[in-house]
Structure 1
Amino acid sequence: MHRRYDLDWVRVCAFGVLVLYHVGMYYVTWSWHVKSPYASTTLEPLMMLSSPWRLSLLFLVSGVATAFLFGGPAGTEPDAGSKRRVLASRSWRLLVPLAFGIAVVVPPQSYYEVVEQLPGGYHAGYLAFLGKYFTGYGGFCDAEGCLLVPTWNHLWFVAYLWAYTAVLWLIWALAPRALQKLGQLLERPLSGLGALILPALLLGALRIALASRFEQTHALIDDWYSHAQYFSVFLLGLLLARAAPFWDALARLRWLALLLWLASWAGLLAYFHAYADADPPEMLRMAMRAVWGLDQWCAIVAVLGFARHWSPGDSRALRYLVPAVFPVYILHQTIIVVAAYNMKPLRLTPGVEGPLLVLMTFVLAFGLYEVIRRVRWLRPLFGLKLGRATPARLPVTSGNA
């Protein structure tokens, strides 16, 4: 069985882009936990290059990984005990780090957010803040609303990933042939140009129908637009994980997808610039939501298509990076927030401070990973197996993967 090293590399690089994106959030005008005194619109076009699609890509790749965790539509059907162990293992690997993250990793982000943004500031200190954090204090409020604590902040991805896995596990456990038949139904229309057109239409339609009705909250229970798009691509990855014609179609369509992605990105930039201070006509707003869906899916096709075409193989670097990704992801945003806030007195320009923040984030995150992977009791808190780390790669039946 061949290995999906291409998707291992995609996942590693996508999380690397996420680190860069979160450093960028410190310097743009969009709302975030702490903000640079030099925040401006300068970086926003570059941020928009990945904003519509980077998380959808990660959910799709996670769907592929989940398919092989379940055995996949073409896999051998496990017994009931094996199925229960799959969910138990997945829950352990996701929910334990999520709980630890909420309790230990995330609180410094909320603390510095309160210190910086609470009217009049917050001067009671971190320990006093923790007392309020863990008791669900509702008084951290400003003109935009109140901070809800405790919170998972950037770890919402982990909560959503577990929820989607649990839903599909239930279907797999009760009616496994339903997933198999649905995958077979989708394989043919998504093995040619439909692989580019149909998901783009779906994502555009979801944005048109839901984006204005359901603000993205990352709060799980009321985040219906997010669920619609992220669960859709997660399910698509799971259903088509072993469908070689689909992946081959992505490789053939990679250049067209790249051009459409860049064209739609340019169109979105022009639209947001033209209507920065005015409401657009409703028909134009709906059209640009469809363009957003086009951008979202074409970027994913381009990334996966080029990865499939290049077929990067295994390497020592990949074997190191694959198990490191999750711990680095858990740690990175707290490092950024704490470092950025405490570097403000240095008054460094963004051109100096930004690259330094990126370097510090990667160095500290990987340095901490080196400690975590060597301490047995720390490993489960960051999603690592108790034993020695061995990256789980994704198999595929096509010989050119």
Structure 2
Amino acid sequence: MRRYDLDWLRVFVFGLLILYHVGMFFVPWGWHIKNNVEYSWIRFPMLFVNQWRLPILFVISGMGTYYALNKRTPGQFSLERIRRLFLPLVVGMLLVVPPQVYVERIAEGQFNGSYFEFWPSQAFMGVYPEGNLSWHHLWFLPYLLLFSLALLPVFVSLRKHPDGSFLRWVKAIVSRRTGLFWFLIPLYLTESLVEPFFEITHALIGDWFAIANYSILFFFGFLLMTVQDTFWKTVTTNRRFYLYCAITGFTLYLGLIMSFEDSITVHFTEAFLKVFNLWSWILVLFGYAATYWNKSSRTLSYCNEAVYPFYILHQTVTIIAGFFIMDLNWGFLPKFLYLIATTFAGSWILYEFGIRRWKWIRPLFGLKTKKATSYLQTVGSVPQGK
């Protein structure tokens, strides 16, 4: 049975991604283009979101893999993953990402000329950041493709042995509210022992910490779906307990990084608080979403399909819009609201009129080739029997 709460969570988290990338324009962290004034206070809400935003996406993706294998053989699943992940990645690298690199080169004074003097003659020369070829924010797609194919034999084996000793043990620990914190062990070992030696690059090759960390979360998502009835009962029943854990974890984590200089003791403590915090928030989100969001609607149907193209398109729209205001003296709020509105509106226009209605374009952005109705037809029609 379809979990509508997972669909809502997916839409919600990808919506936060747009807000997060808009925030990157203002925060004093490195990004492709920056506002003429940076605001240090933005680090705190962004740090809060950043702890669990990507981890829960990989968990949800692992859960989606469980459902995808319900309807496909391993071979069909592999071909479907390549079609829905690799093809949009190639299209994105050819058409969607180059405008971002072009704007960055213009803003940094590294290129002078029109876009069509840059693309395609300069757009694919060398690998970013020294060169111009990049997948930028689309890095999520090759990682997800790698995990899907590499872990497929494990997933098939788990599905063939639903009553095996390992899954019986998983079901037993998941049934207890504190049992879900056993999942912290591999996350903590990776965070404390691997992360110090491998900076996250999103380049795939040599990005060992990201590969290890995100693949574990992806595997967790699939694993939790093998005992899903027990898991959903545990997180809904104990959602308030997990909320207290999450608030405590983030408070202690923030206090630690603000109060102490780095040392071996601080590192291992910080690693534990970090994974405890992110896993607690993931359990909170699953618990409350399962309680209040597990219901269908026509708005959800539209948004659930739109979220993938929005993810592909949004950062290009944000960077182009940001380029035109980066040196204006508007203040934070006007610029922030302008970028939010422009990003959502621009992405929606490109999706609704440039992608969704065209059967031959839809697969290029990871959508099925079915005939699409308009937005108003989708969310405004009345279901039969109502």
Superposition TM-score, scaled by structure 2 size? 0.89
Instruction: Give the superposition deviation at 1:50.
Output: 1.0
The match for 2:103 among 99, 112, 130 is 112
Aligned counterpart, 1:336: 318
What CA distance in whole angstroms lies between the structure 2 residues aligned with 1:296 and 1:180?
A: 30
What CA distance in whole angstroms lies between the structure 1 residues aligned with 2:55 and 2:267?
A: 22
Matched, 1:153 2:142: no
What CA distance in whole angstroms lies between the structure 1 residues aligned with 2:237 and 2:283?
A: 10
**Residues 179 and 116 of structure 1: CA distance in aligned 2, closer, same or farther (over 3 Å):** farther
Aligned pairs for 1:251-290 within 5 A: 251-275=236-260, 279-290=261-272
Instruction: Give the superposition deviation at 1:191.
Output: 2.0
Aligned-partner SS, 2:14: helix
Give me the identity figure in percent.
32
Contact 1:195 1:250 in 2 (8 A): no
Aligned-partner SS, 2:35: coil
Q: For 1:111-133, what per-residue CA distance to the aligned partner results, in whole angstroms no more than 9, with x for missing partners? A: 2222234xx54224433433222
Contact 2:66 2:222 in 1 (8 A): yes
Instruction: Give the superposition deviation at 1:158.
Output: 1.0
Q: For 1:211-259, what per-residue CA distance to the aligned partner results, in whole angstroms no more than 9, with x for missing partners? A: 1111001111211111222111111111221421112111222112222
Contact 1:172 1:179 in 2 (8 A): no
Segments of 5+ residues of structure 2 without an aligned counterpart are: 374-386
Instruction: Give the superposition deviation at 1:296.
Output: 1.0
Aligned counterpart, 1:126: 115
Q: For 1:358-378, what per-residue CA distance to the aligned partner results, in whole angstroms no more than 9, with x for missing partners? A: 111111111211111101221
Instruction: Give the superposition deviation at 1:22.
Output: 0.7
Contact 2:188 2:272 in 1 (8 A): yes
What CA distance in whole angstroms lies between the structure 2 residues aligned with 1:344 and 1:268?
A: 33
Aligned counterpart, 1:395: none
Instruction: Give the superposition deviation at 1:14.
Output: 0.6
Higher relative contact order (CA 8 A, sep 6+): 1
Aligned-partner SS, 2:28: coil
**Residues 147 and 11 of structure 1: CA distance in aligned 2, closer, same or farther (over 3 Å):** same
Aligned counterpart, 1:394: none
What CA distance in whole angstroms lies between the structure 2 residues aligned with 1:46 and 1:172?
A: 36
Instruction: Give the superposition deviation at 1:388.
Output: 3.0
Q: For 1:172-203, what per-residue CA distance to the aligned partner results, in whole angstroms no more than 9, with x for missing partners? A: 56885368744444222122124442123432
Matched, 1:363 2:348: no
What CA distance in whole angstroms lies between the structure 1 residues aligned with 2:31 and 2:189?
A: 28
Aligned counterpart, 2:152: 169
Aligned counterpart, 2:195: 211
**Residues 389 and 199 of structure 1: CA distance in aligned 2, closer, same or farther (over 3 Å):** farther
**Code of the aligned partner of 2:141:** V
Aligned counterpart, 2:84: 93
Aligned counterpart, 1:63: 62
Aligned-partner SS, 1:99: helix
Segments of 5+ residues of structure 1 without an aligned counterpart are: 141-145, 391-401
Contact 1:204 1:290 in 2 (8 A): yes
Q: For 1:121-149, what per-residue CA distance to the aligned partner results, in whole angstroms no more than 9, with x for missing partners? A: 4224433433222132x6x8xxxxx4343
**Residues 174 and 308 of structure 1: CA distance in aligned 2, closer, same or farther (over 3 Å):** closer
**Residues 180 and 123 of structure 1: CA distance in aligned 2, closer, same or farther (over 3 Å):** farther
**Code of the aligned partner of 1:215:** E
**Code of the aligned partner of 2:217:** V
Aligned counterpart, 1:41: 40
Contact 1:91 1:162 in 2 (8 A): yes
What CA distance in whole angstroms lies between the structure 2 residues aligned with 1:251 and 1:135?
A: 51
What CA distance in whole angstroms lies between the structure 2 residues aligned with 1:266 and 1:39?
A: 25
Contact 1:195 1:246 in 2 (8 A): no
Aligned counterpart, 2:273: 291
Aligned-partner SS, 2:325: helix
**Code of the aligned partner of 1:212:** P
**Code of the aligned partner of 2:299:** A
Aligned-partner SS, 2:6: helix
Aligned counterpart, 1:236: 220
What CA distance in whole angstroms lies between the structure 1 residues aligned with 2:75 and 2:267?
A: 46
Higher helix content, 1 or 2: 2
**Code of the aligned partner of 1:50:** V
Q: For 1:264-293, what per-residue CA distance to the aligned partner results, in whole angstroms no more than 9, with x for missing partners? A: 222232233335xxx423201220111001
Contact 2:309 2:366 in 1 (8 A): yes
Aligned counterpart, 1:302: 284
Contact 2:310 2:348 in 1 (8 A): yes
What CA distance in whole angstroms lies between the structure 2 residues aligned with 1:388 and 1:342?
A: 37
Matched, 1:15 2:49: no
What CA distance in whole angstroms lies between the structure 2 residues aligned with 1:121 and 1:178?
A: 57
Instruction: Give the superposition deviation at 1:87.
Output: 1.3
The alignment yields a C-alpha RMSD, in angstroms, of 2.2
Deviates more, 1:35-44 or 1:256-265: 256-265
Contact 1:5 1:314 in 2 (8 A): yes
Aligned-partner SS, 1:56: helix
Superposition TM-score, scaled by structure 1 size? 0.86
What CA distance in whole angstroms lies between the structure 1 residues aligned with 2:147 and 2:53?
A: 18
What CA distance in whole angstroms lies between the structure 1 residues aligned with 2:231 and 2:347?
A: 36
What CA distance in whole angstroms lies between the structure 1 residues aligned with 2:360 and 2:179?
A: 44
Contact 1:98 1:155 in 2 (8 A): yes
What CA distance in whole angstroms lies between the structure 2 residues aligned with 1:216 and 1:389?
A: 39
What CA distance in whole angstroms lies between the structure 1 residues aligned with 2:158 and 2:60?
A: 23
Contact 1:207 1:289 in 2 (8 A): yes
Aligned-partner SS, 2:40: coil
What CA distance in whole angstroms lies between the structure 1 residues aligned with 2:13 and 2:158?
A: 33
Aligned counterpart, 2:376: none
What CA distance in whole angstroms lies between the structure 2 residues aligned with 1:219 and 1:179?
A: 36
**Code of the aligned partner of 1:332:** H
Contact 2:4 2:296 in 1 (8 A): yes
What CA distance in whole angstroms lies between the structure 2 residues aligned with 1:260 and 1:308?
A: 18
